[in-house]
A and B are shown apart, each in its own frame.
Chain A
Amino acid sequence: MTTAEQVIAAPSGPLLSHRTVVRLGRCFFALLLLAGWQWGADSFGSVFFAPPLSVLQRLWEMTVSGEVFFDIWATLYVSAIGFVIAVALGLLLPFVLRLSPRLTEAVQPYIFWSQGVPKYALAPWLILWFGIGDVPKLVIVVAQTFYVIFYNVSAGIRAVDQRLISTARVMGASERVIAKEVIWKSLQPFFYAGMKIAAPHAVGATIVGEFLVSTQGVGHYIEHARELSDTVGVFAGIVVATVLVLVINALVEKMEKVSLAWRPVAKDMMTN
């Protein structure tokens, strides 16, 4: 039975473990991307590709002068307010619609169709209305973010276990207690899934909003740099924007973990 022994011994055979291969591969791929970037800078000129080092230098200068914090603050300020309004609306509306199935059915197609409106296209009109302040950006951020929350909360309300509600009723719970204890608790995972998608969405929308209407913010920094053909500035701005979105992402994920400690497994939910 020598073959049997061989087969069993085989797994310890390979020179590198699978995990090492994956790690090395990732490092290699990252280096490849960096090399591609450098190659782009060398062969197309720094007008098209800012060399990685000059971008780093610019980021350093921005940090030292404090300019970057000013822009980040401006962007986060608008994103946060827009996000809060969108969450409030997206949370409230499904609860209101829950009261009347008839109304829900009547407005459903319009909510769906309104999602098709390219919100950013409202920017030029909003500028005419409100000027180049924060309001046009806010409207855009709210309009972009609202749907994610709204659809997630609606799905959450639909997914509430009806048996839990009847059990609570049997035990004599009031409608308010049911809404708070049963419905709210059960839709929390959906709500957080929505928030998780919506938060980086809001920041992204603010940045694009700043391309279209603004005098400050990370988006304005990028667009301004482009207008000046300052490639290094465009790259540096994009790096800042990316880091900003990724940090927000990580924060929301952390918050979700803390708040959903009662759930056995963190399940990813899909929206839309």
Chain B
Amino acid sequence: MSTSPLLEVRNLAKRFASRQGREPAPWVIRDLSFSVRDGEFLTIIGPSGSGKSTLLNMIAQIDTATGGEILFGGDTIVVSDPKALKPGLDRRIGYVTQDDNLLPWRTTMDNVLFPLEVQGRLDDKTRAHAETLIKAVGLSGYEKYYPHELSGGMRKRTSLIRTLVYDPPVILMDEPFAAVDAQTRVQLQEDLLRLWEMGRKTIIFVTHDIAEAIALGDRTLVLTKQPTRIKAEHAIPFKRPRNVKDIFGLEGFAQVYEKIRAEIQ
């Protein structure tokens, strides 16, 4: 593991602009600092409404920060001018949002190829890579289906590999499995871990599910309610590759779980 962090957040703060004549809006996030190493799977857990999505939006450069800075590979990228935002920071930051946001007029395959197409990187090699990913998450045979013909879990998988296909060094995930049923969820978590083992990208994974945070992450940050700060940090010691289904039985799981639960409340 390299010592210098790939992505660092320093004293990040956010409050939404208030309308004229109204009280200033409360701080959503204040004095938030953490860092991520290259190849680390970081999970962030917090109560709902704790500004988790806002945090990721700021890192992904689709929302402005009110204060503080974000360092990526040594460059300061925090921006408070909405016009200077560079969504995805030139494709270096991938973002799997809570909604799948698939283009309804594109088939599964065409949705996965979309980033390659707009980046002008569509060739036989990248196409083959896309096909491998589609196979890896069990979507073979559904390449020609439109989003409305797919189940919720399949749509999630499609949106996941749409981000993986162009290989951004950092991938943000905002509760990507929140809206699916429990069984599909475990399946999706397994898929994600398997894909991650293939390349070990840096992932920042936001969730409100404690078990999910422990099962997936190398390290877990626990956030407070608004204004959001970091309350605690836990290293997850379980060895990889992991099996999500067995995680509950592992020694030490219950301990970490109880600790985080106490911290969230």
A and B touch in the complex (CB under 8 A): yes
Residue contact A11 to B20, C-beta cutoff 8 Å: yes
For A6, the closest partner residue in chain B by CB is: B80
- CB contacts (< 8 Å) of B20 on chain A: these are 11-12
Residue B152 interfacial (CB < 8 Å): no
- Contact flags (1/0) for B1-40 with A, using CB distance below 8 Å? 0000000000001010111100010000000000000000
User: Is the C-beta of B169 less than 8 angstroms from some C-beta in chain A?
Assistant: no
Contact pick for B15, options A6, A8, A11, A12, CB 8 Å:
A8
* Contact call B66/A11, Cβ cutoff below 8 A: no
Task: State whether B67 touches A1 (Cβ < 8 A).
Answer: yes
Q: What is the total of A-B residue contacts with beta carbons within 8 Å?
A: 24
Chain B residues, CB < 8 A from A1: 13, 66-67
- Asked if B67 contacts A3 (CB within 8 A), the reply is yes
Task: Please state if B13 and A11 are interface contacts (CB–CB under 8 Å).
Answer: no
- The tally of residues in B whose CB lies under 8 Å from a CB in A reads 11
Interface residues of A in 79-102 (CB under 8 A from B): none
- How many residues of A are counted as interface, with CB atoms below 8 angstroms from the partner's CB atoms? 9
Contact partners of B24 in chain A: CB under 8 A: 8
A265 on interface, CB distance cutoff 8 Å: no
A261 at the interface (CB under 8 A from B): no
Knowing A1-B67, A12-B20 are in contact, say whether A7-B80 is a contact too (CB < 8 A): yes
A53 within 8 A of B: no
For B14, the closest partner residue in chain A by CB is A4
Contacts of A4 in B (CB 8 A): 13, 15, 66-67
10 contacts between A and B (CB under 8 A): A1-B66, A3-B67, A3-B80, A4-B66, A4-B67, A7-B80, A8-B17, A8-B18, A11-B17, A11-B19
- Listed in ascending order, the chain A residues whose CB lies under 8 Å from chain B are 1, 3-4, 6-8, 10-12
List of 10 A-B pairs having minimum Cβ-Cβ separation, nearest first:
A4-B66, A4-B67, A1-B67, A3-B67, A3-B80, A7-B80, A7-B66, A11-B20, A8-B17, A12-B20
